[in-house]
């Protein structure tokens, strides 16, 4: 799993390749975000297009609990793009968007589509 900060676009990039364990993905995500001074100021791009597995509802909820106090600092909504071929992620989008205030999530089939949405002001 790769985490990168793209300051030019106010973006956190997360790339998962191969088999992905839900708890590992969330643990590593939380550790990365906790290492930043102001993680709420970034849009996020989760590229899961080359990974297998899924994030469980339990782990989504755990991540949402981590983000809840951070979300209070968000003054401008921050977008979250997920690139995946999974049918599960789009089906869960309404639940995901309820868990994350001021952070609209959208699912994309390609990285190019996700970047266009994220970079569009």
What's the pLDDT tens digit per position in 34-78? 999 999 999 999 999 999 988 898 999 999 999 989 888 888 888
Which DSSP state fits 20? Answer: -
- Look at residue 42 in the predicted model and tell me its pLDDT: 93
Q: If we measure between CA atoms, which residue out of 37, 33, 34 comes closest to residue 13?
A: 33
Map out the domains of the chain as residue ranges.
Answer: 2-119
- What is the chain's mean pLDDT, rounded? 91
The CATH class for the domain spanning 2-119 reads alpha beta
Position of tokens 């791009």?
45
Tokens of 44: 């996020």
- Look at residue 121 in the predicted model and tell me its pLDDT: 56
CA atoms within 13 A on the CB side of 12: 21
Decide: helix, strand or coil at residue 54. coil
- Look at residue 59 in the predicted model and tell me its pLDDT: 94
- Look at residue 66 in the predicted model and tell me its pLDDT: 94
Tell me the torsion sign for CA atoms 53, 92, 14, 59.
Answer: negative
- Look at residue 95 in the predicted model and tell me its pLDDT: 86
pLDDT of 118 over the 70 cut: yes
Position of tokens 């959208």?
106
* Per-residue pLDDT tens over the stretch 21-30: 999 999 999 9
- Look at residue 30 in the predicted model and tell me its pLDDT: 96
Contact 78, 102 (CB under 8 A): yes
44 sits in which H/E element: strand 43-52
pTM, to two decimals: 0.90
pLDDT of 90 over the 60 cut: yes
């Amino acid at each position: 799993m790769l985490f990168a900060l793209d300051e030019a676009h106010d973006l956190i990039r997360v790339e998962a390749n191969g088999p992905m364990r839900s708890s590992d993905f969330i643990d590593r995500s939380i550790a990365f975000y906790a290492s930043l001074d102001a993680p709420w100021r970034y849009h996020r791009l989760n590229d899961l297009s080359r990974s297998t597995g899924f994030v469980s509802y339990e782990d989504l909820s755990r991540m949402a609990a981590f983000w809840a106090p951070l979300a209070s600092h968000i003054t401008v909504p921050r977008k979250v793009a997920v690139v995946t071929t999974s049918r599960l992620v789009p089906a869960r989008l309404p639940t995901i968007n309820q868990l994350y205030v001021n952070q609209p999530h959208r699912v994309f089939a390609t990285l190019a589509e996700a970047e266009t949405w994220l970079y569009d002001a």
